[in-house]
A and B are shown apart, each in its own frame.
Chain A
């Protein structure tokens, strides 16, 4: 009863929130609607918020991940690759949304990509700097293409010999190489400069929003948070991404979930996931969301005038908070999956273990570890030595069942595995990955902390600060 009342109040609250996005006092509780401030605008639009292109890219990403697991070992390779490329590089056709789909009572409003935004692709927004984490000294987009190629010939996205889970690798890498990279290295970076997309002009001819309004909106869109995130707990945001919590998702109460404003996608989902687990001491989701809302409020308050240096400086400080927290979320993911892979290795060696099954889980977790580590290297910051150390520890591929691991690729794109490492040695490297995340990124949620239990037990024993001498 109480629970249903709570749900009811959430629905009512969420319904009212968009209407009251901007209070008289200047506080917004949702990301939009925000008024049109462009002085030269003469159209009839009343809302200047627009980031549907970014939502379409999240959907392209989710759909691509589904396709990456549909290989049948080579027979459907050509058609599967073409289909994956249609989502990665774009298509003239109005492609179906493969994920997220309606599940149980969680009804998704849109069924095709054009219902969100047409003509979008991932490739054009994909990080294209050097990606030394992957064998072959390739650039970011080439790495993605290589992964798509390999996924199309794999069986259900699983390459047992080399230890790759393509759906995980493609998905987690893209979450950084597209979403994180575009947000922190483009929209929240150079596009905040005075000479780029000024606030007293439309973003493009005819748009209702100013240059800076739309720059900020696009930066927000890549985060993948629901517009009403500030009214949500981490648990609720998590429940929305998992398509379980309709009441929390359906902000306008129309019975369907609008992917454009009500859904929670990858980056925001992981922020919520770490806030609600591990040490539960972090507040990534809310911190990032608040900065986005505050930044947008600041731009709106300029009322269509060019932003002053002070305003842009304030905007950049919001951007810095977003970037540092987002980077930490990715580092938390690296930390978590390094711990998962560590545990899997121990499980594989247990007497009577179903090795094949545990190995499958290990490859999945490793794919997430690797993908997130590559995401971390796709941002604005050159991680320098940290990236090198991280790559050396994680390796190009996981230590596989015969203890060999991928050391490079041949000119034809085949993987080479000409070195071996013991399980114990690799576990040590995974521990060092966790330590690196703590030292360099100060991660504090620390899910799957391999040393936490050890530390807790040491605390339980207590320190002997005063000698009791006999």
Chain B
């Protein structure tokens, strides 16, 4: 594989509106951050500028690891993604299978007006995608083997928009499959019931709802700008501050706010935590000796952790966990709790 290929793929994310770090979204996020700090929080422009472009954040050791992972993962995804099952394959399989039931028939609702079908599909796609994100994310926290991978993401001690890509490749595969399954299910069911009137409302090629999510500052979720929403709105949409709280080391914030765009899943399943005014939040896995620290750790430690879990060496590790009483006991994250 050519290094230029990796580099091109790296750059392409900044010009692809399907990606969160699309330059347009980043610029909008920047504008929102200034508005929040200057207009709402009455911070001086100079201070706002300093806070947004905080060198201690963007050049921290943690951020530097983010950048490295972002780049290295390009190489992984270039040869892993062609091997993964596609949403087309899943959609085709389900579409075939739908012919084996006799409650609904193919094209049963094809008489509905196309704008309505497109609206229904766009909403369904967004909601199902968001719902599966919630659940897979929740499993990543509650199942020890998945947490071994996901803690790579949570080991970030400073957060920048690039932190969204601080992901172990195994988690990348799992998320890719989740996306393929959720898209495959929705596409096939809609095609079966509504026929080929099904389409997507898009802006710059992106589902209009996803576009709205990114346009309203999705990049600020991984940042130090703690934008909060009105209380009532935080029951519906996860604010950047709510997601930042999800990264907090404080015990009362553990396993809260798994949601991506919608907060209703957290609300429904009891994991919602509203943002807190002016509360200092420390990010990361401070005090957790099992936290990966070097770039090598990020990729390999999840596997040694899993070997430890599977071979029963867990108790040996566990003793070390209680060295810091302020942290969540390690085994609580190592073993599924329900």
A interface vs B, CB < 8 Å? 342, 345-347, 349-351, 422-425, 427-428, 431-432, 451, 453-455, 457-470
Cross-chain contact of B179 among A428, A457, A464 (Cβ < 8 A): A464
The reply to whether A461 and B207 contact each other, CB–CB distance below 8 Å, is yes
A453 to B106, CA, bound (A): 14
> Which residues of chain A are within 8 angstroms of B51 by Cβ–Cβ distance?
none
**Max count, chain B CB within 10 A of own CB: residue among A459, A465, A466:** A466
Interface residue B18 (Cβ < 8 Å from any Cβ of A): yes
Given contact pairs A346-B106, A466-B172, A451 touches B125 in the complex (Cβ within 8 A):
no
The reply to whether A423 and B164 contact each other, CB–CB distance below 8 Å, is no
Interface residues of B in 139-196 (CB under 8 A from A): 150, 153, 164-167, 171-172, 174-176, 179-180, 183-184, 187-188, 191, 195-196
In addition to A431-B96, A464-B175, 12 A-B residue pairs with Cβ atoms within 8 Å of each other are A342-B106, A346-B106, A346-B195, A349-B107, A424-B98, A424-B105, A455-B88, A457-B199, A467-B171, A470-B243, A470-B258, A470-B260
B interface vs A, CB < 8 Å? 13, 18-20, 73-74, 77, 80-81, 84, 86-88, 91-92, 95-96, 98-102, 105-108, 110-111, 125, 133, 137, 150, 153, 164-167, 171-172, 174-176, 179-180, 183-184, 187-188, 191, 195-196, 198-200, 202, 205, 207, 221, 243, 246, 258-260
The reply to whether A454 and B179 contact each other, CB–CB distance below 8 Å, is no
The reply to whether A470 and B198 contact each other, CB–CB distance below 8 Å, is no
A422 to B106, CA, bound (A): 12
The reply to whether A349 and B105 contact each other, CB–CB distance below 8 Å, is yes
Cross-chain contact of A427 among B106, B167, B184 (Cβ < 8 A): B106
> Which residues of chain A are within 8 angstroms of B258 by Cβ–Cβ distance?
470
> Which residues of chain B are within 8 angstroms of A453 by Cβ–Cβ distance?
191, 196, 198
Given contact pairs A425-B100, A428-B96, A458 touches B187 in the complex (Cβ within 8 A):
yes
Cross-chain contact of B187 among A345, A431, A432, A461 (Cβ < 8 A): A461
The reply to whether B99 and A431 contact each other, CB–CB distance below 8 Å, is yes
Distance (Å) between the CB of B105 and the closest chain A CB?
A: 5
Please name 26 pairs of A and B residues whose Cβ atoms are closer than 8 Å in the assembled complex, sorted by A. Answer: A346-B107, A346-B110, A350-B111, A422-B102, A423-B106, A424-B102, A428-B96, A428-B100, A454-B187, A457-B191, A458-B86, A458-B91, A461-B125, A463-B87, A466-B172, A467-B167, A467-B175, A467-B176, A468-B164, A469-B165, A469-B171, A469-B175, A470-B137, A470-B243, A470-B246, A470-B260
Residue of B nearest to A424 (CB): B99
The reply to whether A460 and B200 contact each other, CB–CB distance below 8 Å, is yes
**Max count, chain A CB within 10 A of own CB: residue among B77, B88, B108, B183:** B88
A465 to B83, CA, bound (A): 11
A345 to B77, CA, bound (A): 43
> Which residues of chain A are within 8 angstroms of B207 by Cβ–Cβ distance?
461
Distance (Å) between the CB of B294 and the closest chain A CB?
A: 20
Given contact pairs A346-B195, A424-B102, A428-B99, A465 touches B111 in the complex (Cβ within 8 A):
no
